[in-house]
Structure 1
Amino acid sequence: MSESDLLKQAEWRLIDQSSVNPHFHAIQSFAIDDTLCRAVGSGYSPPTVRAWVHVNTLVLGIQDTKLSYLQQGLEYLKDRQYQAIVRNSGGLAVALDEGVLNLSLIFPDTEKGIDINRGYEAMYSLTKMMFEDFNMNIEAREIVGSYCPGSYDLSIGGKKFAGISQRRIRKAVAVQIYLCVSGSGQERAKLVKEFYEHSGAHVPTKFIFPDIKPDVMASLSELLQVNLSVQDVMSRFLHVLKNQSDRLYASQLQGIELEWLQDYYERMVDRNRKILIDMR
């Protein structure tokens, strides 16, 4: 089965949380994806896609909690009206705001297991199909100097606009992407760069943090030279997905999923309390 076959499902369940809601906290988002992994992995739910947006939030990876002066970095973010949370997976800091669309593809892991690169390639293929009418070459390779660098950074002309990650739990795979749709990619990168500088990323430890070069990052609106909104990109996303499945239907969490969500949410809250991030 190829990466494109992962997108071709008999049915896709859609959970759309892409409308801006200041009261929708990113901690809830990561708990929801874990809940959906459990639902999909157990067969309770078919393969599921989720779209989500959060207002000013810096999502930290576990490694970021090892920064020598993390509290100073968190104070800097607070002064900039940003909140910070620690996600339950690896990677490094990522900036979210109203111009950043996050997409999750959640597949059941087969008995043989989905090769890790196939999950990445499925999301890469989906993204290319979403913007194929622009006739621009979207590359998947690490962009040195970007925040949260990885081998599946997506870029146009050497400027990164998206990053892909994966999480595997409960016999399911969640492939997640953040797409910088509008606004300034450089300004987001400057924020993350300043956070690292205030947090003591320069202090020698066994951990290595990125030396961020803001000019290697941009939004899709900047790169494609059009005014794209999150909802514009959602329309493209849904159009591609409809062509990849026999049925696409909208849903919300239901039944036993609501109980699972409470459990995963409490785990996320506990994780964040332990590193003294203010949850108020």
Structure 2
Amino acid sequence: MRVLCGRAATVEADRERTGAMLARTGETGEPAVRVWTPHRQVAFGRRDAAEPGYERARAVARKQGYEPVERRVGGRAVAHTASTVAFARSMPVADPRAGMTARYETTTEQVRRALAEVGVEATPGEPSASFCPGSHSLQAGGKVVGIAQRVRPDAALVAGCVVVADRETLAGVLAPVYDALGQPFDPSSVGSVAAAGGPADPEQVRTAVERALIGDDTAVRRQAV
């Protein structure tokens, strides 16, 4: 298994690294894991791009100092603050029509165990009117983890983010963004690891999540992005 470490110099270059990770898994059959703290950004989903207020929402994000980007994985807008931890796990697939549910369940459980390791007992689900609403989330006094999946003919990428701290900051960034998109969002639905009794240190959470996603694989090759 390859483990990619760190982040690239820019938001766009960073996104390209994750895309390249997925492509390489498809080409070689070797799974890979990446857990890192991204640059400040608001990552919009494809459904957001179809909304009449999309350009205004992008302008709102930029005005607040967050680079607006459009991602290929996931549904609605997600903000990454300085303390957000992102994770991605790529794995080869023989049949792109099979295994999606199992991959979601495995990753959700791995991340849940990582949070338990740092003192947070998260449970599946999310409050109503959460950011990036979806069926694969973890909550602990609010939404703390969202997970999405992208599948190619030869590989799948399960990715997501953990809100470590800055829940008020994240809610403050997303509220006007969702308002511009015309989508429901309740700022009080945002949780965080720190607010649930865990550490506010993203590196501690990053390490726990990485360890959980690697699992029992002993053939680990670390590589800088």
Q: Assess same fold via TM > 0.5.
A: yes
Q: TM-score, normalised by structure 1?
A: 0.73
In structure 2, the residue matched to 1:269 is: none
Distance 2:132 2:40 in 1: 17
User: Alpha carbons of 1:135 and 1:36: their partners in 2 closer, same or farther (altered >3 Å)?
Assistant: closer
Task: Classify the secondary structure of the residue corresponding to 1:102.
Answer: strand
Q: Which moved more, 1:48-57 or 1:145-154?
A: 48-57
Among 14, 36, 41, the alignment partner of 2:21 is: 36
In structure 2, the residue matched to 1:250 is: 222
- Unpaired segments ≥5 residues, structure 1: 1-11, 202-208, 254-280
Task: Classify the secondary structure of the residue corresponding to 2:68.
Answer: strand
2:7 is equivalent to residue 13 of structure 1 = no
- Same amino acid, percent of matched pairs: 18
User: Alpha carbons of 1:37 and 1:170: their partners in 2 closer, same or farther (altered >3 Å)?
Assistant: farther
In structure 2, the residue matched to 1:195 is: 177
User: What amino acid is the match of 2:170?
Assistant: R
In structure 2, the residue matched to 1:75 is: 59
User: Alpha carbons of 1:132 and 1:75: their partners in 2 closer, same or farther (altered >3 Å)?
Assistant: closer
Q: TM-score, normalised by structure 2?
A: 0.89
2:110 is equivalent to residue 138 of structure 1 = no
Distance 1:238 1:70 in 2: 33
User: Alpha carbons of 1:94 and 1:237: their partners in 2 closer, same or farther (altered >3 Å)?
Assistant: same
Distance 2:169 2:191 in 1: 9
2:202 is equivalent to residue 230 of structure 1 = yes
In structure 2, the residue matched to 1:216 is: 189
In structure 1, the residue matched to 2:112 is: 128
- Unpaired segments ≥5 residues, structure 2: none
2:32 is equivalent to residue 54 of structure 1 = no
Q: Over residues 205-240 of structure 1, what are the superposed CA-to-partner deviations in whole Å (9 max), with x where a residue is unaligned?
A: xxxx3x11111111101112x433121112223443
Distance 1:86 1:242 in 2: 28
Distance 2:210 2:181 in 1: 42
Matches within 5 A, 1:91-240: 91-111=75-95, 114-133=98-117, 136-157=120-141, 159-183=142-166, 185-197=167-179, 199-201=180-182, 209=183, 211-224=184-197, 226-240=198-212
User: Alpha carbons of 1:58 and 1:220: their partners in 2 closer, same or farther (altered >3 Å)?
Assistant: same
Distance 1:17 1:33 in 2: 11
In structure 2, the residue matched to 1:261 is: none
Distance 1:145 1:186 in 2: 16
Task: State how many pairs are aligned.
Answer: 225
Q: Does the 8 Å CA contact 1:13/1:250 hold for their aligned counterparts?
A: yes
Aligned-residue RMSD, C-alpha: 2.3
User: Alpha carbons of 1:150 and 1:112: their partners in 2 closer, same or farther (altered >3 Å)?
Assistant: closer
Q: Over residues 60-104 of structure 1, what are the superposed CA-to-partner deviations in whole Å (9 max), with x where a residue is unaligned?
A: 011111222333322322221111011124411000121101010
Q: Does the 8 Å CA contact 2:41/2:80 hold for their aligned counterparts?
A: yes
Q: Does the 8 Å CA contact 1:146/1:189 hold for their aligned counterparts?
A: no
User: What amino acid is the match of 1:221?
Assistant: A
Deviation at 1:114, TM superposition (A): 4.3
Distance 2:118 2:70 in 1: 35
In structure 2, the residue matched to 1:24 is: 10
User: Alpha carbons of 1:239 and 1:61: their partners in 2 closer, same or farther (altered >3 Å)?
Assistant: closer
Among 19, 31, 49, the alignment partner of 1:65 is: 49
Distance 2:118 2:209 in 1: 15
Q: Does the 8 Å CA contact 2:112/2:123 hold for their aligned counterparts?
A: no
Task: Classify the secondary structure of the residue corresponding to 2:220.
Answer: strand
